[in-house]
Structure 1
Amino acid sequence: MSSVRFITTASLCGASMGIGLFFGTKYERLKKGNKDHLTHLLHLTDTKALFVPSVFASSSIPATTSTSMPATFPQSQPVNRVSEIMKFGFPSLDQVRSFDNFVLSYDRRNRNAQWVFEHIKPEHVMKNENIKRGKSEFLEDNIIHTFFRATKNDFKNSGYDRGHLAAAANHRHTQKAMDQTFTLSNVSPQVGEGFNRDAWNDLEKYVRAKARQSRNVYCCTGPLYLPRRENDGKVYVKYEVIGKNNVAVPTHFFKVLLIENNQGQFELMPFVMPNQPLPKDVKLKKYLVPLESIERAAGFLLFDKIPRNNIKIISG
């Protein structure tokens, strides 16, 4: 009996070592063959172990080589800038990317951000004649694996604008900060006339007006893919995809503002707009919705680190 136990135990140990060697070898092959192996293995590994350190560290994940854009922007922000932007909590930790003045989570399946967080101060939106939008150009995000990133060609002749989620004009304090908003991980296909150039643009201007008047504005923006009832009586989630990489066209967009006034009081304003031409005479307040409706549709919680009794006004 003891010999049987010994053989069984030895066999199990050998099998365990074999499995470990297999996965160890597999990992080393991926690591050597692909500098972006962290993205490649994300679904197999705890997201906190992979991406949170890269967000808070002073150095970034090595960029892959690409002929379509220069090297990834160096992450020169102080270590505490990300924690300042994300002061009231991360909605999710999947494929988190940090830039100098905003943080986003990327959806590899839909080739859109899941959410983009900005912390906007009055000095960020002050007009600066030396900072010009015309100097910026749309660029692929080299941190995103080539299988999952959007390209400029995906938008070409699509009929959609390359719509910013973190708006360029929210980051006027340096040219680099504005340039980073043109990275395609911060861009979604948006209807141009009547939406991106009109109603959505009005909402972005409203955010900047609030930022000039307030101590702090925390802004979270992202796409939604909402269901609708079709003629057969059934409910479907349908959305178009564009380009060779099948970049999803969101049905709606949300923008949630947490505004801190000069007395330290907070106001919460959640907006949702359909991605379609909208009437010019509709007031922005008509697009206010309950925060819970966005959280349920998007699949994550927003500003959950701030006690609700600290918020004096919740619009929508």
Structure 2
Amino acid sequence: MSSLVQAAIFAAGAAVGGGVTAAVLSRRPAAQRPSVPPAVDGTIISPSVPAVTPPVIGLGTNGTAQISNLSSVASLSSSAVLKYGHPGPIADPIVRKAYVAAYDRRLRHPAWTAEHLTLASLGKSSLVAPPDETGDRTKSAFMEDDAIPAPFRARLSDYLRSGYDRGHMVPAADAKFSQEAMNETFYLSNMAPQVGDGFNRHYWAYLEDWCRRLTGTFSDVYVFTVPLYLPNRDPDGKWRVTHEVIGSPPNVSVPTHFAKVVLTSKPTSPSTPNILELAMGAFVLPNAPIPDETPLERFVMPVDAVERAAGLALFSDAIKSTSKHICQSTKCEVIVRRFDDTRKRPDMRRAISAPK
């Protein structure tokens, strides 16, 4: 399993236009490529890309996600000005069996979550024996995360009668390989307030299902989920970010939008299993009811736009410059699956054309 695909988090951010409209963003030129393709653990990217400094989130040699380069806070604290402690802000790193994440203490929900999906991790591989025990969500319960300091913790009471669902950032369905892994997806540190009917229980769930189905086409699927706070233009012509805060006293912020950003890899051909083809794409959805018939293409965004809006750098320039758009590598569609609708509706498949 490749360890070359890496994701870098926490770079400079800027605002994106209101709603789900992204500005056209210019890209920085890719670094000059070396004459010899770089290799890590025998795996190279095609076309070749320059080696990059390992970012905050990367993949270990065994394919699991790992956090690195978290020394900035410690180095700052060594300053005489901060001899009595570093005030923050601090994103609490969370490492679970099925995902890694950074928790935003101010907003009381994840700043981002990251997961690595494969047929094997979803229990669908014909080459890997299924685990002896699989996760059953009926045995899981929502719970507060004691690993988060009490003053910054999201609480079960915050969601009580709030009108919002406890929305999984990493879905429970992505962690079926063990009960412990599934239980960990029910920590409130993996939740953000989401509109229930029409979003969390419907269109957002269709998008989560699409991410899982990518494992049928790609050997590795990396999924980032990012809560967003995007501005709207008010009647006076000025742009403002307005969001609700739930709890009594107010405690957990309600994102205006959510992004799913995917990076996929697969061998360029059966004869070259160590040469990977990469594809990526981003989708930004408003935290609001979305009609089932809405085409998924309406929510396609440049990855750069999501990074600027969130203040993150999800991928290096080298990865961006060598990746196709996801919809050029596979059919991008959501399949409507309403559990309360017994009719099969093939007309509800919504295809998305490849970018021009």
TM-score of the pair, normalised by structure 1? 0.69
Q: Structure 1 residues 265, 96: CA separation in 2 closer, same or farther (over 3 Å shift)?
A: same
Larger RCO, structures 1/2 (Cα 8 Å, 6+ apart):
2
Q: Report deviation, 1:169.
A: 0.3
* 1:171-202 Cα shifts (integer Å, max 9, x gaps): 11111111100010100000001100111000
Q: Structure 1 residues 267, 87: CA separation in 2 closer, same or farther (over 3 Å shift)?
A: farther
Equivalent-residue separation in structure 2 for 1:97 and 1:82 (angstroms): 19
Kept in 2: contact 1:141–1:149 (CA 8 A): yes
Equivalent-residue separation in structure 2 for 1:155 and 1:223 (angstroms): 17
Q: What percentage of aligned pairs have identical amino acids?
A: 41
Equivalent-residue separation in structure 2 for 1:121 and 1:87 (angstroms): 20
Kept in 1: contact 2:135–2:181 (CA 8 A): no
Equivalent-residue separation in structure 2 for 1:205 and 1:314 (angstroms): 16
Which residue number in structure 2 is paired with residue 275 of structure 1?
287
Which residue number in structure 1 is paired with residue 97 of structure 2?
100
Q: Structure 1 residues 293, 194: CA separation in 2 closer, same or farther (over 3 Å shift)?
A: same
5 Å-filtered alignment, 1:162-181, equals: 162-181=166-185
Amino acid at match of 2:225: T
Amino acid at match of 1:166: V
Residue 151 of structure 2: which of 140, 144, 147 is its match? 147
* 1:53-104 Cα shifts (integer Å, max 9, x gaps): xxxxxxxxxxxxxxxxxxxxxxxxxx948973259999x9832111112111
Q: Does residue 117 of structure 1 match 2:108?
A: no
Which structure's residues are more often helix, by fraction? 1
Q: Report deviation, 1:314.
A: 5.4
Partner SS, residue 95 of structure 1 = strand
Which residue number in structure 2 is paired with residue 160 of structure 1?
164
Equivalent-residue separation in structure 1 for 2:93 and 2:263 (angstroms): 21
5 Å-filtered alignment, 1:106-255, equals: 106-126=103-123, 130-244=134-248, 245-255=250-260
Partner SS, residue 122 of structure 1 = coil
Which residue number in structure 2 is paired with residue 18 of structure 1?
none
Which residue number in structure 1 is paired with residue 65 of structure 2?
85
Equivalent-residue separation in structure 2 for 1:303 and 1:106 (angstroms): 19
Mark the runs of 5 or more structure 1 residues left unpaired by the alignment.
1-78
Residue 278 of structure 2: which of 262, 266, 290 is its match? 266
Partner SS, residue 152 of structure 2 = coil
Amino acid at match of 1:295: E
Q: Report deviation, 1:308.
A: 2.5
Which residue number in structure 2 is paired with residue 17 of structure 1?
none
Q: Does residue 257 of structure 1 match 2:269?
A: no
Q: Structure 1 residues 236, 94: CA separation in 2 closer, same or farther (over 3 Å shift)?
A: same
Equivalent-residue separation in structure 2 for 1:239 and 1:81 (angstroms): 41
- Would you say how many aligned residue pairs link Structure 1 and Structure 2? 237
Q: Structure 1 residues 174, 310: CA separation in 2 closer, same or farther (over 3 Å shift)?
A: same
For the aligned residues, what is the CA RMSD? 2.6
* 1:228-271 Cα shifts (integer Å, max 9, x gaps): 01122221110000003520000000010001124321110101
Partner SS, residue 265 of structure 1 = strand
Which structure's residues are more often strand, by fraction? 2
**Which of 1 and 2 has greater Rg?**
1
Q: Structure 1 residues 198, 300: CA separation in 2 closer, same or farther (over 3 Å shift)?
A: same
Which residue number in structure 2 is paired with residue 309 of structure 1?
321
Kept in 2: contact 1:122–1:213 (CA 8 A): no
Amino acid at match of 2:293: D
Equivalent-residue separation in structure 1 for 2:215 and 2:285 (angstroms): 21
Equivalent-residue separation in structure 2 for 1:241 and 1:106 (angstroms): 17
Equivalent-residue separation in structure 1 for 2:197 and 2:294 (angstroms): 15
Q: Structure 1 residues 88, 120: CA separation in 2 closer, same or farther (over 3 Å shift)?
A: farther
Q: Structure 1 residues 306, 171: CA separation in 2 closer, same or farther (over 3 Å shift)?
A: farther
TM-score of the pair, normalised by structure 2? 0.62
* 1:269-305 Cα shifts (integer Å, max 9, x gaps): 1010000001210122321101111011100111227
Kept in 2: contact 1:89–1:304 (CA 8 A): no
Which residue number in structure 2 is paired with residue 71 of structure 1?
none
Equivalent-residue separation in structure 2 for 1:140 and 1:83 (angstroms): 29
Equivalent-residue separation in structure 2 for 1:148 and 1:251 (angstroms): 21
Which residue number in structure 1 is paired with residue 42 of structure 2?
none
Equivalent-residue separation in structure 2 for 1:107 and 1:252 (angstroms): 16
Amino acid at match of 2:92: Q
Kept in 2: contact 1:89–1:305 (CA 8 A): no
